[in-house]
Structure 1
Amino acid sequence: MKERSTRLKAVRKLIKNNRIESQDELLQLLQKEGYEVTQATLSRDLKLLRVGKVSDGQSGYVYTLPEEADSRENEQIYVQDFLRGYVSIDYSGNIVVIKTFGGHADSVSNALDALNMDEILGTVAGDNCIFACLREGLTGKDFMTALKKIIPDIDEE
């Protein structure tokens, strides 16, 4: 099964390039692309991507993505959430440990997940610490390089 971040990119591409009226139609297109996904997972993906339906001006409604400006604005919100809560970042192999202020691990982890970094396989948050598992073959340095592209002034401590 293909990974979530690549599936989300595929969903965006399909919605941009096709006139899609239903989740069933989108599900079939994803399956043709090689993605095994349930209707429930697709619903969560559409919510995460903030996909909406708009009138096509003729006889029905079609899926649409939020404007690119909205996406950039949302990314900046996630960046601010991340910066507001994190204290330090360290790593060993493909495990990244992000220490946060007390009670901020959940919001920092959610922000990190929302940034859809391909390097991250998954995150687990406690009260003041996050463990991020990176994809096979990637290191903490790879993660930091990717994170600095999104948040140039991030400090590695």
Structure 2
Amino acid sequence: MKVKNDRLEALRMIISSQELGSQEELLTALKQEGFTLTQATLSRDLKQLKVAKAASMRGNYVYVLPNDTMYKRVSTPHSVREMLQVPGFLSINFSGNIGVIKTRPGYASSIAYNIDNSNIDDILGTIAGDDTILIVIKQGVHTQQVIDALSEVVPNMK
């Protein structure tokens, strides 16, 4: 299952960083990252990820991740291996008992999932978008306590 998860993560990275309009182009990009698979497997992966096609700014139809037809693409494409070496967490800020975590595009859901499943007593819950996580903190808890707890769950928080 690890290979499939790695492949799906690579596919997410490729789709978010390049404008590709055919499965052949996706297969080539995946092969460059070390993933050799059939067109049928790619089709199943695309279906699982709920990938769609949408018009790009240039008028071409390209693959996009769900719920974001105008997905934020990086201007200079990097390899998946390079992107995976950079953590998704960017910053955290607080206002009262609310915290806002900024992430790289596409990382908020998985980071929020990890936070929610770590059962941090000081955090009541999270809401995640594409690159932003809203965290609700128990009343009276100091932000440093939250940061200390989150640093156990979120890589490169400290």
TM-score normalised by L of structure 2? 0.42
TM-score for the superposition, normalised by structure 1: 0.42
- Flag the structure with higher helix content: 1
